Amino acid sequence: MKYRLIKPVNENYCTIEQILTNRGIKHEDIKHYLNTTDDDINSPLLFGEERLKRAAVTLINTIKNNLRCIVIVDSDCDGFTSSAVLINYLYDLFPTWVENNLTWFIHEGKQHGLSDFELTEDIVLLIIPDASSNDYEYHKQLKEKGIDIIILDHHEAERESENAIVINNQLSNYPNKNLSGVGVTWQFCRYLDDLLNTSYADKYIDLVALGNMADMMSMVSIETKHLITKGFKEENIKNPFIAYMADKNSYSLGGKVTPMGAAFYIAPYVNAIVRSGTLEEKQLIFKSMLKFEAFKKIPSTKRGHKAGEEEQLVIQAIRTANNVKNRQTRAQDAGLEFLERMIDEKHLLDNKVLLFLLEPGQIDKNIAGLIANKFMAKYQRPCCILTKVEECYEDEYWYEDGDCYLTTLKTRVSYQGSARGCDKTGIANFKDICEQCPSTIFAEGHQSAFGLGIDCGTIGDGGEEVFGEGIYQFIDYTNEALKDINDEAIYYVDYIYNSTNVNPQNILDIAGLDDLWGKDIDEPLIAIKNLKITKDMITLMSPDKSPTLKIILPNKVALIKFGSSQEEYEQFLTEGYIEIDVVGKCNKNEWNGWVNPQIFIEDYDIVDSSKYFF
């Protein structure tokens, strides 16, 4: 285990000053960062007034003429919240039109954009929040059919589509590039508010907070930080799904919704539905985000319900989300076990990228990204989980005079799936690295989380296999590109204590800042070195259910390690001492009016031991 101070501790700084300067916030900006206001929200006009006006006129004309519109709901939490903001907002303005002329499309799998959308209704307008900026060919096809397209997106794209109205912070002068799709959608609603002299957009700030947090937008951005902080204030949590989910997980959330709390106890349930839910289950959860749907009475599915019994849709949605999350966890655990064996059998750790090449059906493709996240964190290196794709096509050979003389059937082989970078080891541009490899077909998404395809060549009609070079090329290319990256985990800590100077108040101060942590404002880690543990300092709690080590230091600071075991506990039962180095996160335990500092152990090393201790 290695750990390192982010920066030397400045004795003139208080705890929050030390931590925020460690995260790259300038000391002179800290007061502003901690006290953001609505003045920190950018004007929607920065997306480009001409674009906004075209989109607004197109939408309002559709509504004015009582024509039909479809909203494409993208396949993640940001996508669900983006579409929910838009539809809820339009319902405030035009409830009759929304009920009669606006519908939405939800992907059956985890597709994005227009790849699986088929035009089956008499519509004139398609709105796509959080996706489709680069679906140029689909835009052209739909435009040729007379359909207008409005895109409200934040993903990178090569250029602005000439066949769609694209409002995208990456393709405009909008200064905050760390605003997710729901933020872009909300800003479009704010523009409509200004245009129509209304004020409905701010009612949906909780959805804006959840979508930005779920999509891992950087909280170094003042605007993004303000929107997330404001959205999770108790008085602003009004969305039925968010409010009921927060209530259900109140104990785990500590009685309030913080950014990291939402990232662990609300957003994953939406993503579980997207990855592992049926289309019916996805529809249920999405409707629970719509205020005009959430409280409708529907037939109960609760275990033991009576015939004809009804319940509110949002109540059923919360229970369904929990069931699907449990279902996903079981599938994830089975996938992790299967792939762990593959790591050993195929020596996958010999390369810089943990690359899994799977046959169809070996892993549910909808949870591949989730599993890739787990392996990336465990092995501290990029991870790609790709499945073989075979596409048949006819290859024709021609005479010089233009007559076709031979048609042969061939199969193009590729591996496609999910890729994850590893920011912790300094790989901030893994998507770019993959994109530059000659055998890469596509690398689409965010820098650290994206879809990846690798070309492997063709199989001819004679059965001869001529593919494989693309994979070797990808391995060689990434090994070279990442040759200087250390794949051993290093814990970057804000403070290093020794066994005699652990500061209880410092721990409580850090624990009290839990509403600040998010992307790029990481929750602090601290290290304690040369900590001598004797058997009278340590206990094993709940040994039969969920074994947890608890170490009480002489100054009453408690060290807690979850997921322990009887064997681990017994190694500390010596007549002398076990000396360890510890890395952990700060927490406070509140009980019966008492507040005590705790450290949740992330990792530790045994560095010394002695049979006797005097």
pLDDT in tens, 17-73: 999 999 999 999 999 999 999 999 999 999 999 999 999 999 999 999 999 999 999
pLDDT in tens, 376-409: 888 889 999 999 998 876 666 555 555 555 556 6
pLDDT in tens, 86-132: 999 999 999 999 999 999 999 887 777 887 788 777 899 999 999 99
Structure tokens at 399: 């005479």
Q: How confident is the model at residue 424 (pLDDT cuts 50, 70, 90)?
A: confident
pLDDT in tens, 487-529: 677 889 999 998 888 889 999 999 999 999 998 999 999 999 9
Q: What is the pLDDT of residue 117?
A: 82
Task: Please list, in sequence order, all residues whose beta carbon lies within 8 angstroms of the beta carbon of residue 484, skipping any fewer than 6 positions away.
Answer: none
Residue 189 and residue 17: Cα distance in Å, rounded? 36
Least Cα distance to 489 among 551, 422, 431, 430 occurs for 422
Least Cα distance to 530 among 584, 583, 582 occurs for 582
Q: Average pLDDT over the chain, rounded to whole?
A: 90
Least Cα distance to 523 among 535, 532, 514, 534 occurs for 514
Largest CA distance in the chain: 98
pLDDT in tens, 426-457: 787 899 999 999 999 999 888 888 999 999 87
Q: What is the pLDDT of residue 108?
A: 84
* Kind and range of the H or E run holding 529: strand 526-533
Structure tokens at 469: 């070079």
Burial classification of residue 131, based on how many CB atoms lie within 10 Å of its CB (0-12 exposed, 13-18 middle, 19 or more buried): buried
Alpha carbon distance, N-terminus to C-terminus of the chain: 28
C-alpha dist (Å) from residue 537 to 533, 540, 577: 6, 11, 10
Going by DSSP bridges, is the β-strand pair 526-533/577-591 parallel, antiparallel, or unpaired? antiparallel
Least Cα distance to 421 among 449, 446, 445 occurs for 449
Residue 239 and residue 83: Cα distance in Å, rounded? 13
Range with the largest mean pLDDT of 203-212, 266-275, 480-489: 203-212
pLDDT in tens, 135-145: 999 999 999 99
Q: What is the pLDDT of residue 306?
A: 83
Residue 565 and residue 520: Cα distance in Å, rounded? 33
* Kind and range of the H or E run holding 493: strand 490-493
Going by DSSP bridges, is the β-strand pair 102-106/526-533 parallel, antiparallel, or unpaired? unpaired
Q: What is the pLDDT of residue 406?
A: 57
pLDDT in tens, 534-589: 989 999 998 888 899 999 998 889 999 998 999 999 888 888 889 999 999 999 98
* Kind and range of the H or E run holding 332: helix 313-345
Going by DSSP bridges, is the β-strand pair 440-445/490-493 parallel, antiparallel, or unpaired? unpaired
Q: What is the pLDDT of residue 223?
A: 98
More confident residue, 305 or 46: 46
pLDDT in tens, 2-12: 899 999 999 99
